[in-house]
Amino acid sequence: MIRYIDDLQLTGKRVFIRVDFNVPLEGRRVTDDTRIREALPTIRRALEMGGKVILASHLGRPKGADPKLSTVLVAEKLAELLGGKHEVIHADDCVGDNVKKQVNDLKAGQVLLLENLRFHKEEEANDEAFARELAALADVYVNDAFGTAHRAHASTAGMVPFVKEKAAGLLMRKEIEYLGDKVLRNPQKPFVAILGGSKVSDKIKVIESLLPKVDALLVGGAMAYTFLKAQGIEVGKSRVEEGDKLALAAKLLDTAKRLKTPLVLPIDHIVCADPDGKGPVRETPDQVVPADMMGLDIGPKTRAMYTQRIRDAKTVVWNGPMGRFEVDKFAEGTRSVAAAMAINKDAVTVIGGGDSAAAVEQMGYADKMSHVSTGGGASLEFLEGQPLPGIKALETK
């Protein structure tokens, strides 16, 4: 069982919240504050509940302390986003005597943002002494950083057993509710999964995990060509994974056949000799890609077929773009899947995967989905059906 922040009593307690403030920086500027805004509901809730809020995150990939990757900029941004209603204090480390003193001096309604956790290599090494030091700052541990839940680090897993009480934050709750309950555990039928993106090898475990659960699995993106080639279909210069990956694709097709689950491949393509769309772009009449061409998007017949499947579904989960959507000429397949999901108001619609989420965002469909996961790698691992260390650590008996 997992408790949520609302289930706890926070008055006067030191509430340590692991957030995902891994925001993009350009020099001295936070260029996208989405991740900070997404953590606000949990931070506000903890403050309303009378907690003394301690926030911790990693930022970038520092090797040791690196002023360019300090969370100090994030503290400024956060204070602004909280509307100046709460004082946000920045700690110049995440462990040590100074931080302990800052935590002791903290008053209800104040927020203390710790310095970048990854300034200490012990964070990623999940060092026990370091985990205990972090835990010593807290009466209550709250994890709202779904995006790092697939990593067993000191702040996501190691410290948790050393804190008295633990709970998931509101963002984490939404991820578990959608990816866990509404997709993996209790999907309304028909349940359709759409998988695309660059490599079959990245998605093998997701395919294996979803095949027994779904009514159909629709494939697009570059990985479709590995499946087509595995069946002996000519794929021209399309991006394929060779060797054992072809055998693996063939095995997955066999598994689907045995389970009687349609694993649906594109029946036509948008092709071009150049991946950036320089030169003539054509639609193919069938599954075959001409020898000197690359398949860069699903074609119109495939779009119509996938749209139909999505329209009839009650649960749709999507990971991986249908084509090289960064180039407008090859974005139509991805756009049509997003549109079909957005229009289906009777279905639970969930997007996982970094590039897919970015595509949906960019195309303006994000707020029409039931849920767009905030964790790229984490959502993929969640859909593989493995318990994520950061979520497992929150389980109580």
Q: Catalytic residue numbers? A: 35, 199, 354, 377
Query: How far apart (Å, rounded) are the C-alpha atoms in residues 181 and 226?
Result: 31
Q: Does 274 bind ligand ADP (CB under 6 A)?
A: no
Site for ligand ADP in 235-254 (CB under 6 A): 239
Span near ligand ADP by CB under 6 A; candidates 14-22, 54-62, 164-172, 323-331:
323-331
Q: Which is nearer to ligand ADP, 91 or 223 (CB)?
A: 223
Q: Is the dihedral of CA 308, 309, 312, 314 positive or negative?
A: negative
Q: Which is nearer to ligand ADP, 62 or 197 (CB)?
A: 197
Map residues 321-360 to x or -, x wherever contact with Mg ion holds by CB under 5 A: ---------------------------------xx-----
Query: How far apart (Å, rounded) are the C-alpha atoms in residues 180 and 178?
Result: 6
Q: Which is nearer to Mg ion, 261 or 319 (CB)?
A: 319
Helical residues (DSSP H) of 82-144, grouped into ranges: 97-105, 121-125, 128-135
Structure tokens that stand for 154 in this block: 């000191």
Query: Which of 229, 235, 233, 278 lies closest to 249, judged by CA?
Result: 229
Contacted entry of Mg ion, ligand ADP, none for residue 215, CB cut-off 5 to 8 Å set by kind: none
Q: Which is nearer to ligand ADP, 239 or 282 (CB)?
A: 239
Span near ligand ADP by CB under 6 A; candidates 108-116, 208-216, 279-287, 322-330:
322-330
CB 288 within 8 A of CB 320: no
Smallest distance from the beta carbon of 118 to ligand ADP, in angstroms?
A: 22
Phi, psi of 145 (to 5 degrees): -100, 75
Helix, strand, coil abundance in the chain, percent, nearest 5: 45, 15, 40
Residue of the chain from 147, 266, 299, 320 that contacts ligand ADP (CB under 6 A)? 320
Amino acid at 254: D
Instruction: Give the pairing type, strands 294-298 and 216-219.
Output: unpaired
Smallest distance from the beta carbon of 75 to ligand ADP, in angstroms?
A: 30
CA dihedral 206, 181, 216, 224 (to 10 degrees): -30
Q: Which is nearer to ligand ADP, 157 or 310 (CB)?
A: 310
Smallest distance from the beta carbon of 295 to ligand ADP, in angstroms?
A: 5
- Judged by the rule CB under 6 A, the positions of this chain that interact with ligand ADP are 196-198, 202, 221-222, 239, 295-296, 319-321, 323-324, 326, 353-356, 376
- Judged by the rule CB under 5 A, the positions of this chain that interact with Mg ion are 354-355
